[in-house]
Amino acid sequence: AQSVAQPEDQVNVAEGNPLTVKCTYSVSGNPYLFWYVQYPNRGLQFLLKYITGDNLVKGSYGFEAEFNKSQTSFHLKKPSALVSDSALYFCAVRHSNTGKLIFGQGTTLQVKP
């Protein structure tokens, strides 16, 4: 079955430190991968996507993600975390047959001052 896994329910980092939110996927064919962020009582906001090309994708708010085909991973990264980055982060992959988005369970990022 095609799926996405976010192995960490919560990630805690200190402000100014680098952050990584992990995502692995299982999909047939070439993956189309996305990261979204959700703030409390809000919808999801698009951060970045990988379709093809450079394995390092840059997105909104200073976030980037690294696509690793051999490890089937698409980890979200930021060199220097901000308290305002605290939110719920979702990784998603496009289902290769239906085209629908399959979301991971989400990872809560907590950035402490």
Partner 1 sequence: KAGVTQTPRYLIKTRGQQVTLSCSPISGHRSVSWYQQTPGQGLQFLFEYFSETQRNKGNFPGRFSGRQFSNSRSEMNVSTLELGDSALYLCASSLGTGGITEAFFGQGTRLTVV
Residue located via tokens 């909104």: 60
Q: Cα(83)–Cα(102) distance, rounded to whole angstroms?
A: 28
Smallest gap from residue 75 Cβ to partner 1 (A):
19
Nearer to partner 1, 81 or 92 (CB): 92
Q: Which stretch binds partner 1 (CB under 8 A): 16-24, 61-69, 76-84, 94-102?
A: 94-102
> Taking CB under 8 A as the rule, does residue 113 contact partner 1?
no
Which of 22, 40, 28 is CA-nearest to residue 2? 28
> Taking CB under 8 A as the rule, does residue 67 contact partner 1?
no
> Taking CB under 8 A as the rule, does residue 69 contact partner 1?
no
Helix%, strand%, coil% for the chain, nearest 5? 5, 50, 45
Smallest gap from residue 34 Cβ to partner 1 (A):
6
- Residue 83 phi/psi, 5-degree rounding, is -55, -35
Nearer to partner 1, 35 or 81 (CB): 35
> Taking CB under 8 A as the rule, does residue 31 contact partner 1?
no
